[in-house]
Amino acid sequence: MLGGAKPDFNLALAVMQNIRLQGVRVESRDPFERMLAAITAHNLRPVVDQVFPLSEIRTAIEHLGAGRHTGKVCISI
């Protein structure tokens, strides 16, 4: 949507192949910069549940899919 409201692909084909599309809302630059300033000022850090090496990506996906995590599930590259 950042490039406009018209998709550059055939949406019907995506629907027929049961592809899941999920949008992301993006604000203007000013609120984003204020958010970054607040994160920096308060030294906020994301909660990380577990970090998996790339070689264990299947285990990481299974862990995420099980829904027992609290926070981010990360892959170390």
Please check whether residue 70 lies inside any domain of the structure.
Answer: yes
In a domain, 54, yes or no: yes
From CA 12, how far away is CA 23, in angstroms rounded? 17
Instruction: Tell me the pTM.
Output: 0.53
pLDDT in tens, 43-68: 999 999 999 999 999 999 999 999 98
Query: Which region holds residue 67: left if phi is over 0, alpha if psi is between -120 and 50, else beta?
Result: left
The verdict on residue 9 lying in a domain is no
Q: Tell me the per-residue pLDDT of 22-43, one tens digit each, with 9 for 90 and over.
A: 777 777 889 989 999 999 999 9
pLDDT recorded at residue 16:
83
Q: How many domains does the chain have?
A: 1
Domain of 76 in residue numbering reads as 46-77
Section 67-76 average pLDDT: 94
pLDDT top residue among 19 and 33:
33
